[in-house]
Amino acid sequence: MKVLIATKNQGKIEGAKRALLNYFDDIEIKEKLEEMGHTIELPNSYYEPDAENKSWNLGEKEYSEFKLREFRKEFPILKQVETFN
């Protein structure tokens, strides 16, 4: 199983790792995936978690434009990201 834990806090990473190992035999954490040459893409909300709410509060037009910008940013990335079976 491949797992992305979007934090640099080693305590949170270790805690999540231990919790997941209760249910799964083998997990790979982000650093290991990067060592293996995988590119890790974080969700847009990771860098600016309140951006969608801010655009929603500005009105329907602004929110629609925000979502369109996000989709246009993500589309080239999604074409390159490997899929999991």
Q: Are residues 54 and 68 in the same domain?
A: yes
What band does 85 get if pLDDT is binned at 50, 70 and 90? very low
Q: Say yes or no: 55 and 84 in one domain.
A: yes
24 and 2 within one domain: yes
Domain of residue 3 covers: 1-38
Higher pLDDT, 32 or 71: 71
Q: Assess whether 27 and 6 both reside in one domain.
A: yes
Are 4 and 26 contained in the same domain?
yes
Residue 52 burial by CB count (10 A; 0-12/13-18/19+): exposed, middle or buried?
A: middle
Rounded CA gap, 16 and 3, in Å? Answer: 10
16 & 30 share domain: yes
- Whether 51 and 25 map to the same domain: the answer is no
d(CA 26, CA 1): 6
pLDDT digits (tens, 9 = 90+) for 28-62: 677 777 788 877 766 666 667 788 888 889 999 99
Whether 32 and 51 share a structural domain:
no
